[in-house]
Amino acid sequence: MPHPLVVALGLRRYRVERPFGHWQESVGRVSGVAHSRRGVHVLLREDPLHDTGGPRVLTLDDETGAPLAAWGADMIADAHLLAAYGERLYIVDRDAHQVIVTTLDGELRFRLGECNRPLAPFNHPTDVAVAPDGTVYVSDGYAGASVHRFAPDGAPLARWGCWGTGPGEFVNPHAIWVMRDGRVVVADRENGRLQVFDPEGALLTIWTGFVRPADIWGDAEDRLYVIDAVPTLTLLAPDGALIGRCRPVLNGAHGIWGDDTGRLYLAEGNPSRLTRLVPILGEAQT
């Protein structure tokens, strides 16, 4: 590596590794990333009306980056973001107006929403998050301007939000995360902010200082990692206090996830690749 890079988030230092992983270059553009016991799951986006038939989900070995599995072309039309919780993957099929729930190996379990039926209930959803009690939240971003709440079995429970720039309103709720205490954090991208709600949808607070925040991931201590279009990776304390910021990608990332070793994975669309941040041993920790 001719020019090794190191970035800082608070007192923690990371070695920048990019690209991480390798796969056939002709497949779609990287859109999202998640991590499970199976490895690193990479979501690939293609134009559904000019489909090359390539896979939508790649699973990579989280040590070597070697490809382990590739699937999803017959299931996912317009891959946007995905999440991994336990033994399940939750995949947002944005322009097909659905969330697809599978095993870690791609076996379909159930769907939220109805494929190719807008407003039943989604209108181009963007992201999905699962609370510690199993409740599922979906940000209905590109045209829905709302958040939907579902029981663990997929039964609809509630919906909140509307289009606008005021408190509790959205232009594009692009990403969503649920903290261990049940707070729901929504990246209101075009309004340049994070909005924090209680589990029932009551607005608690608004955190600003972002430029088109794209995705959020939270670690075991409820610290939040937020990527935006500066491009910046911001680390927040559970109360929203700033811990640190860095610029680990070239043009910006669309998705982020971490693993239990402290490594962070960032999904970049331009150029299409993964960047991995690896904690440097011996450095002070936040």
Give one DSSP letter per residue of 156-201, joined into a string: EEEEE--BSSSTT-BS-EEEEEE-TTS-EEEEEGGGTEEEEE-TTS
CA dist 147 and 69 (Å) reads: 32
Give one DSSP letter per residue of 211-237, joined into a string: SS--EEEE-TT--EEEEETTTEEEEE-
What are the φ and ψ backbone dihedral angles of 50, each rounded to 5 degrees? -135, 55
CA dist 69 and 136 (Å) reads: 26
* Per-residue confidence (pLDDT) for residue 53, from 0 to 100: 81
What 3-state DSSP class applies to 95? helix
> pLDDT per residue over 147-157, tens digit each?
999 999 999 99
Please state, as a whole number, how many other Cβ atoms lie within 10 Å of the Cβ of residue 262.
15
Burial of 95 (0-12, 13-18, 19+ CB in 10 A): middle
> pLDDT per residue over 69-84, tens digit each?
999 999 999 999 999 9
Name the band, by pLDDT with cuts 50, 70 and 90, for residue 223: very high
pLDDT for 26 beyond 90: no
What are the φ and ψ backbone dihedral angles of 79, each rounded to 5 degrees? -65, 130
> pLDDT per residue over 83-120, tens digit each?
999 999 999 999 999 999 999 999 999 999 999 999 99
What 3-state DSSP class applies to 133? coil
Domains and CATH numbers, the chain: 6-279 (2.120.10.30)
What are the φ and ψ backbone dihedral angles of 94, each rounded to 5 degrees? -55, -60
Q: Are 116 and 97 in contact (CB under 8 A)?
A: yes
CA dist 174 and 80 (Å) reads: 10
> pLDDT per residue over 141-198, tens digit each?
999 999 999 999 999 999 999 999 999 999 999 999 999 999 999 999 999 999 999 9
153 token code pair? 């079995």
177 token code pair? 């995360």
Name the band, by pLDDT with cuts 50, 70 and 90, for residue 1: low
Q: What is the pTM of this model?
A: 0.96
CA dist 125 and 122 (Å) reads: 6
